[in-house]
Amino acid sequence: MTEVGVLEARNNLSGLIKKALAGEEIVITSRQVPQVRLVPVSPALPIGSGAAILAALSSLPLYQGDPADMEARIRQERESWD
């Protein structure tokens, strides 16, 4: 972890950004008190892309029940739409 003061961060921001992108933790301090952490932004996945769909599906719990029961639940849900 690298700690830098506000003035040093202002003077060396591009270098600190490169370090953060490389995985190093950068903490910016004011009077030796940690104030903020510089971290890379996770890239947003385009809506509807295969990667976005897989990411959404991977966050859902897997259905462990009987497949026939699932068919009945799907049919029941579809019938409720009318």
Per-residue pLDDT, 11: 97
Query: In this structure, what token pair is assigned to residue 61?
Result: 């719990």
Per-residue pLDDT, 18: 93
Q: Which residues of the chain are modeled with pLDDT < 50?
A: none
pLDDT in tens, 32-47: 999 999 988 877 667 7
- Residue 76 domain-assigned (yes or no): no
81: left (phi over 0), alpha (psi -120 to 50) or beta: alpha
Q: Which domain holds residue 12?
A: 2-38
The structural domain count of the chain equals 1
- Average pLDDT of the chain, as a whole number: 87
Return d(Cα 14, Cα 20) in angstroms, integer: 10
- Residue 65 domain-assigned (yes or no): no
